[in-house]
Amino acid sequence: MGQILLVTGGARSGKSRFAEMRARSMAGDPVYIATAQAFDEEMAERIIQHRTERRGQGWQTIEEPLAIAKALRDTDGAGPRLLDCLTLWLNNVIHAGGDWRSEVKGLVATLAEQSSPVVLVTNEVGFGIVPDNPLARAFRDAAGFAAQMVAEVADEVVLVVAGYPVTVKTFR
Amino acid sequence: MGQILLVTGGARSGKSRFAEMRARSMAGDPVYIATAQAFDEEMAERIIQHRTERRGQGWQTIEEPLAIAKALRDTDGAGPRLLDCLTLWLNNVIHAGGDWRSEVKGLVATLAEQSSPVVLVTNEVGFGIVPDNPLARAFRDAAGFAAQMVAEVADEVVLVVAGYPVTVKTFR
Amino acid sequence: MGQILLVTGGARSGKSRFAEMRARSMAGDPVYIATAQAFDEEMAERIIQHRTERRGQGWQTIEEPLAIAKALRDTDGAGPRLLDCLTLWLNNVIHAGGDWRSEVKGLVATLAEQSSPVVLVTNEVGFGIVPDNPLARAFRDAAGFAAQMVAEVADEVVLVVAGYPVTVKTFR
């Protein structure tokens, strides 16, 4: 089974940069699976900035807002895959009216079958006051559930703080 | 003195599950002290789900939204107590017009006198943008104050991230 | 080069208290560089409480909401400086219409030139749901960017949880 690394952290914590560094350090040509969808101009700018600043040379990029388990199956066997990020994907699933619980279970089942490594980025969203908005609460539930489910099959989990990793789970 | 373990983490981080696992691993019949009150239907569902899914067999359950220090004194001497959670308790204290500072001090004094272990669950709520709502700010202050006060008398403090514990304070 | 310590954590996590303890343990007379500005009565009370409760004897206090790089240069050579906190400073910079990116870069350049130690306090603000408010999102970006930039030049970074430090980066 390929190595599974889950990278979590707050917004602007450097988690994507850390995840990219780890994926680049793995053997084979890396594949970037981007789940971001531009809902507005700010988001569109962020996506372009991400692409320009970070991806660098040598990355194959796949933009897949929903069918990430399929994207993982389709790209297995060559190099590491960087999936950035689970929380945007869940947001897409919820907006599309999907069943996030079964989607997460499908992802986890797919992860367990991969032969090439997968680095997954997720966002900590549950360290604030309970949101008034029921949709925001559902999203918090989904993000927490997904992180726990993926962490269970992961070989390594790190929490990125100010760009540096704190070990949460390790195989060593 | 009995062992004091403080388990903190974000919403849906797996902290309750981790705390239950730790309490079950201790000698004696575990007691679950639940502070949750159903203010609305969503909350009522969560409480029932918690009860059904998690508590399992062998737990004595006490529902106590306010007088948790008394509940600890009343149940001392047999097995471990799992108090879930401090933040809901503080919310109840604030809604009841109580003085949260003196309530927390009373809890800490009681903890120091226990002969059986106590596992306490609390919620990190201060890692977001400052809330506009003054009540939410007061709640954040209370939660942070309580966590610090309890951590000071605790033998062990862990931050649960994606279901796994990061050591914050340890007696080892 | 003097030692650089970055102390991060949520609101009411005990990070300021921890940072003060560390600064006091360093050789020389400590200097407190306070960035807090009283925008309202609640804030004014907090500032006074901070001053009274925490600073204790022996601290020189400088209130500097904006020109903190200059304050560091002006106080270099004697004892440790405690800068509390980066996030309030960024808030002041944004409210004053300043360019936070270049301000942070200026601070980091100054930090690299210091001969006396600097302890910097910052606030984790990105572990919640994405705020609706564009200004709050910009503030989150600024706080995350500043923490990453300062962490890169820091010798040590700790995340304070319930009053206790979790090591994020260390020179040991």
pLDDT tens for each residue of C92-149: 999 999 999 999 999 999 999 999 999 999 999 999 999 999 999 999 999 999 999 9
Give the residue-averaged pLDDT of C147-155: 98
Looking up tokens 């992802």 gives A107
Which comes out higher in pLDDT, residue B62 or A41?
A: B62
Which helix (H) or strand (E) segment holds residue C9: the answer is: strand C4-9
Sign of CA dihedral B25, B56, B48, B79: negative
To probe the interface with A, which of B46, B164, B167 has the most A CB atoms within 10 Å? B164
Strand C4-9 versus strand C156-161 pairing type: parallel
Q: How confident is the model at residue A107 (pLDDT cuts 50, 70, 90)?
A: very high
Q: How confident is the model at residue C55 (pLDDT cuts 50, 70, 90)?
A: low
Give the residue-averaged pLDDT of A48-77: 84
Residue in chain C closest to A164 (alpha carbons) equals C168
Angle value at C-alpha C46, between C41 and C47, nearest 5 degrees: 95
Residue extents of the structural domains in chain C? 18-114+122-133
Interface touch B127/C42, C-beta < 8 Å: no
Q: Which residues of C are annotated as a binding site?
A: 9-16, 34-36, 51-54, 63, 84
Q: Which residues pair with A9 in a beta bridge?
A: A160
Instruction: Give the per-residue pLDDT at A78.
Output: 83
Instruction: Give the per-residue pLDDT at B16.
Output: 95
Answer yes or no: is pLDDT of A104 > 60.
Answer: yes
Option in B14, B126, B127 nearest A148 (CB): B14
Interface touch C144/A42, C-beta < 8 Å: no
Crossing angle of helices C41-54 and C15-24, in 10° steps, is 30
Contact between B126 and A129 under an 8 Å Cβ cutoff? The reply is no
Q: How confident is the model at residue A37 (pLDDT cuts 50, 70, 90)?
A: confident
Give the residue-averaged pLDDT of A110-135: 95
| Neighbour-count burial of B139, counting CB atoms closer than 10 A to its CB (0-12 exposed, 13-18 middle, 19+ buried) | buried
Chain B window 2-21: which residues touch A at a Cβ cutoff of 8 Å? 10-14
The residues near B151 (Cβ < 8 Å, ≥ 6 apart) are: B6, B157, B168, B169, C162, C163, C164
Q: Which residues of A are annotated as a binding site for GTP?
A: 9-16, 34-36, 51-54, 63, 84
| Neighbour-count burial of C25, counting CB atoms closer than 10 A to its CB (0-12 exposed, 13-18 middle, 19+ buried) | exposed
Answer yes or no: is pLDDT of B54 > 60.
Answer: no
Instruction: Give the per-residue pLDDT at B49.
Output: 74
Q: Cα–Cα distances in Å, from B125 out to A62, B137, C124?
A: 35, 10, 11
Answer yes or no: is pLDDT of C54 > 60.
Answer: no
To probe the interface with B, which of A129, A158, A161 has the most B CB atoms within 10 Å? A129
Residue B121 to residue B131: CA distance in whole angstroms: 23
Option in A127, A141, A168 nearest B164 (CB): A168
The CATH number, out of the four listed (3.40.50.720, 3.10.129.10, 3.40.50.300, 3.30.70.890), of the domain defined by the range B18-114+122-133: 3.40.50.300
User: Tens of pLDDT along C15-25?
Assistant: 999 999 999 99
Instruction: Give the per-residue pLDDT at B57.
Output: 61
- Give the 3-state secondary structure of residue C105: helix
Interface touch C126/B127, C-beta < 8 Å: yes
Q: Cα–Cα distances in Å, from B43 out to B40, B47, B49, B92, C162?
A: 5, 6, 10, 14, 27
Q: How confident is the model at residue B153 (pLDDT cuts 50, 70, 90)?
A: very high
Give the residue-averaged pLDDT of B10-19: 96
Answer yes or no: is pLDDT of C65 > 70.
Answer: yes
- Contact status of B39 with chain A (Cβ, < 8 Å): no
In the residue annotation, C95 being an active-site residue is answered as no
A84: closest CA of chain B, how far (Å): 17
Residue in chain B closest to C139 (alpha carbons) equals B129
Option in A10, A122, A130 nearest B127 (CB): A10
Instruction: Give the per-residue pLDDT at B59.
Output: 87
Residue C57 to residue C51: CA distance in whole angstroms: 11
Answer yes or no: is pLDDT of A54 > 60.
Answer: no
* Number of residues in chain C: 172
Instruction: Give the per-residue pLDDT at B80.
Output: 97
Phi, psi of C171 (to 5 degrees): -90, -10
Instruction: Give the per-residue pLDDT at B40.
Output: 75
Instruction: Give the per-residue pLDDT at A49.
Output: 73
Q: What pTM was estimated for this model as a whole?
A: 0.94
To probe the interface with B, which of C8, C12, C13, C140 has the most B CB atoms within 10 Å? C12
Q: How confident is the model at residue A120 (pLDDT cuts 50, 70, 90)?
A: very high
